[in-house]
Amino acid sequence: MAKIKRLVRREERRKNRSKKTSRMHPSRLRLVVFRSLKHFEVQVINDFKGHTLVSVSSKEKKIKSLTKKQSNKTDICKIIGKELAKRVKSAKLGPIVLDRNGYPYHGRVKAFTESARDNGIEL
């Protein structure tokens, strides 16, 4: 029981550490990443107003049609990064802070972030 509590506290500390940057820059928007075993979701949030401005998910029909059945999860994250960049540019949103949500900057999170940066998002 004590081990579970310790692990939960460690996870909460990681989440709060990644949110600290967005609290330091309240004028910037926050890009939140959620990853599960099957899917990957991102959304741009205005914390000042509490609104979600743009979101992209691997569950969307458009993303599913862009991905092939043999695509691995990392390739899908790269496609999500490109799609998010298009939507952010069309909405004319300013600089954004990445909130990893406690996930390490590795694998799918890193692939998504690099794809978004390559397509013009200022993170």
Q: What is the pLDDT of residues 68-121, one digit of tens each?
A: 777 899 999 999 999 999 999 999 998 899 988 888 899 999 999 999 999 999
Size of the chain, expressed as the number of residues it contains:
123
pLDDT band at 53 (very low <50, low <70, confident <90, very high): very high
Sketch out the chain's domains with CATH numbers: 2-118 (3.30.420.100)
Q: Is residue 63 within 8 Å of 83, Cβ to Cβ?
A: yes
pLDDT of residue 1: 86
pLDDT of residue 96: 92
pLDDT band at 11 (very low <50, low <70, confident <90, very high): confident
Coil, strand or helix at 33: strand
Say what the pTM is: 0.86
Q: Is residue 22 within 8 Å of 35, Cβ to Cβ?
A: no
Percentage of the chain beyond pLDDT 90 is: 64
pLDDT of residue 15: 81
pLDDT of residue 22: 66
Percent of the chain as helix, strand, coil, to the nearest 5: 50, 20, 30
Token pair, residue 91, equals 């909405």
